[in-house]
Amino acid sequence: MTENQEALSVLKEILFTSYNLNPEEVTPDKAFAEDSEGANLGLDSLDVVELLISLEERYGIEISDEEAEKIATVGDAVEYLCRVLDKR
Amino acid sequence: MTLVPKIISLEFTVPRYSYTQDEIFKALGYPRLFSSVYTGAGISKRHFCVPLDKAHDMSWQQQCATYIVEAEDLSVAAVEKCARDGVGKIDRLYYNSCTGFAPGPTIGHLISRRVPTLNGARVVNLSSMGCEAALPGISVAYDYCVAWGKPAMVVNCELCSLTYYPEKPSPDKENDYELLRGNALFADAAVAGIIGFDHNDRHPYILAMKTLTDYSHMNDLGYVWSEGRLRLKLSRSVPDTALLLIQKVVSEVMAEWELEAKSVRFWVVHAAGSKVLDLVESAFLLSKEQLWFSRQTLFRYGNCSSATVGITGKIIMEEGNPHVGDYGVMVNVGPGMTANAMLIKWGS
């Protein structure tokens, strides 16, 4: 499993466990927040924060405010995780 | 001939301290990632009767002592504006609030002592009704007008900053972050309105009112006692439950006058938060214009509990340029869970 696939798999697992989202719907093009334009996963702002906190706990990382603002889609999150995990 | 009561005057006041969402978030000291809950709330700033650094450290007794002073002053300011157009003597005052306690004399008595228009008025204090109190208040004033042919005043004063519940160092995940979410929304304001009779086309008639309570959601919204003070209850399911109640109660009130959503120009929906407004907009297929003033209320003042719909109504009267024949629907929700809807119409 590549790093990309692993990160996507972790996201799918968290989103299924916490928000009962169908893993098949969790695709890189989908935005997290319900107020995003285009296809999204229907999370509110608090859900998105909780998701980021789950990722911090899962990987032992700290997501900065600047980075958090840039993570709007599943693809953004996967790309961010791969980048951060590569540096370790 | 039966005279139909109208809203013949409506005014509001906000307290002197105002803060941006970013300032509030930083003062509360929540973990940084939660900032988006505050900055993304659709609110530019909120007004409080106490400075943020003071609100942190107040006991319930100090909160109530401050409430008595500030609620009187803020309400009197709203009442004086409301009564300035020479409405004459008003002998009934309904005072609504859920954010503080005056053991007696009541805030209503303190107001009527200071405002000549209300000197000697019979004071009726309504309490503990939360965000929904505005429309039941108007409803009893309406009944008084119909019964006695005389005007009545309704005051809604909410000082939400005086129900601040400290939680540090981390937000309460177990209760679904309800305090963190509440602290992102609520603010202080007082609204005064006069329900009565006149021939001014700029003042809307009250055509119909409906109330609906779903007792199965009794514990989703309100206050509980905790550690010697009030603690907000705010389930995350509130917006969805509120929508179901709002859909029913608004549909009933519109059906009574054979109206469709698109026929109602002004939607005065309690600006509880942007999610409630989004849900109502989608459910009734509203245009941005129909809900504009509710969103503006949230943007300019935040959720001022029972004072909120009155603020929206006043902004519409000032900036909405309502025409004869325009309809408006006022909607609010509160503990119970209860939703109220009131249909108004400008002109004859």
| Residues B191 and B42 reside in one and the same domain | yes
The verdict on A45 touching B (C-beta cutoff 8 Å) is yes
The verdict on A49 touching B (C-beta cutoff 8 Å) is yes
Active-site amino acid positions of A: 44
Q: Which of B76, B62, B135, B144 is nearest to B107 (CA)?
A: B76
All residues of chain A having their beta carbon less than 8 Å from the beta carbon of residue B234 are none
Least confident range of B39-48, B84-93, B183-192, B250-259: B84-93
**What is the rounded average pLDDT for all residues in chain A?**
89
All residues of chain B having their beta carbon less than 8 Å from the beta carbon of residue A35 are 40, 274, 278
Mean pLDDT of B49-74: 94
| Residues B119 and B143 reside in one and the same domain | yes
Least confident range of A79-88, B23-32, B305-314, B321-330: A79-88
The verdict on B246 touching A (C-beta cutoff 8 Å) is no
**What is the rounded average pLDDT for all residues in chain B?**
94
| Residues B182 and B327 reside in one and the same domain | no
Q: Is the pLDDT of residue B86 over 90?
A: no
Q: Is the pLDDT of residue B77 over 60?
A: yes
Least confident range of B33-42, B138-147, B181-190: B33-42
Q: Which residues of B82-95 are buried (b: 16+ CB within 10 A; e: fewer)?
A: bbeeebeebbbbbb
Residues 6+ apart with CB under 8 A from B32: A65
Interface size between A and B, measured as CB pairs under 8 A: 29
Q: Is the pLDDT of residue B166 over 60?
A: yes
In this prediction, residue A69 has a pLDDT band, given cuts at 50, 70 and 90, of: confident
Residue ending a domain, among B146, B171, B196, is: B196
pLDDT score for B169: 64
Q: Is residue B337 part of a domain?
A: yes
| Residues B51 and B144 reside in one and the same domain | yes
Predicted-assembly ipTM surpassing the 0.85 threshold:
no
Query: Which token pair is B227?
Result: 């550690």
| Residues B118 and B260 reside in one and the same domain | no
B79/B73 Cα distance (integer angstroms): 10
Which chain B residue shows the shortest CA-CA distance from A66? B33
Of all residues in chain B, the percent with pLDDT exceeding 70 is 99
| Residues B25 and B165 reside in one and the same domain | yes
Instruction: Determine if the pTM surpasses 0.90.
Output: yes
pLDDT score for B276: 95
| Residues B126 and B147 reside in one and the same domain | yes
What digits encode the pLDDT tens for the residues B124-147?
Answer: 999 999 999 999 999 999 999 999
In this prediction, residue B1 has a pLDDT band, given cuts at 50, 70 and 90, of: low
| Residues B213 and B175 reside in one and the same domain | no
What digits encode the pLDDT tens for the residues A30-42?
Answer: 999 887 778 899 8
CB B308 within 8 A of CB B131: yes
Nearest to A65 among B35, B40, B41 (CB): B35
pLDDT score for B99: 95
Q: Is residue B117 part of a domain?
A: yes
pLDDT score for B5: 96
Q: How far apart are the first and last CA of chain B?
A: 14
Q: Which residues of B217-232 are buried (b: 16+ CB within 10 A; e: fewer)?
A: beebbbbeeeeebbbb
Distance from CA of A11 to the nearest CA of B (A): 18
Which chain B residue shows the shortest CA-CA distance from A62? B33
Please report, for residues B81, B271, B318, the alpha-carbon distance to residue B262 in angstroms, rounded to integers and kept in the order given. Answer: 33, 20, 22
Distance from CA of A1 to the nearest CA of B (A): 30
| Residues B112 and B51 reside in one and the same domain | yes
In this prediction, residue B265 has a pLDDT band, given cuts at 50, 70 and 90, of: very high
In this prediction, residue B257 has a pLDDT band, given cuts at 50, 70 and 90, of: very high
Q: Is residue B189 part of a domain?
A: yes
Do B36 and A45 lie within an 8 Å CB cutoff? yes
Q: Which of B16, B44, B286, B4 is nearest to B161 (CA)?
A: B16
Task: Look up residue A52 and give its DSSP letter.
Answer: H
Q: Is residue B181 part of a domain?
A: yes
pLDDT score for B66: 97
Q: Is residue B120 part of a domain?
A: yes
Residues 6+ apart with CB under 8 A from B54: none
| Residues B113 and B241 reside in one and the same domain | no
| Residues B132 and B51 reside in one and the same domain | yes
Q: How far apart are the first and last CA of chain A?
A: 18
Domain count, chain B: 2
Q: How many helices (H) and strands (E) does chain A have?
A: 4, 2
Residue ending a domain, among B196, B213, B229, is: B196
Do B36 and A48 lie within an 8 Å CB cutoff? yes
Cis bond before residue B169 (omega within 30° of 0): yes
- Can you give the residue range of the structural domain that contains B33? 6-196
In this prediction, residue B171 has a pLDDT band, given cuts at 50, 70 and 90, of: confident
pLDDT score for B2: 64
Mean pLDDT of A77-81: 93
Q: Is residue B62 part of a domain?
A: yes
Query: Which token pair is B172?
Result: 């309460």
User: What CATH number is given to the structural domain containing B136?
Assistant: 3.40.47.10
The helix (run of H) or strand (run of E) holding residue B92 is strand B92-97
Residue ending a domain, among B166, B196, B226, is: B196
| Residues B26 and B108 reside in one and the same domain | yes
pLDDT score for B274: 92
Query: Which token pair is A74?
Result: 């599943």
Interface of B with A in 177-206 (CB under 8 A): 177, 180-181
Q: Is residue B1 part of a domain?
A: no
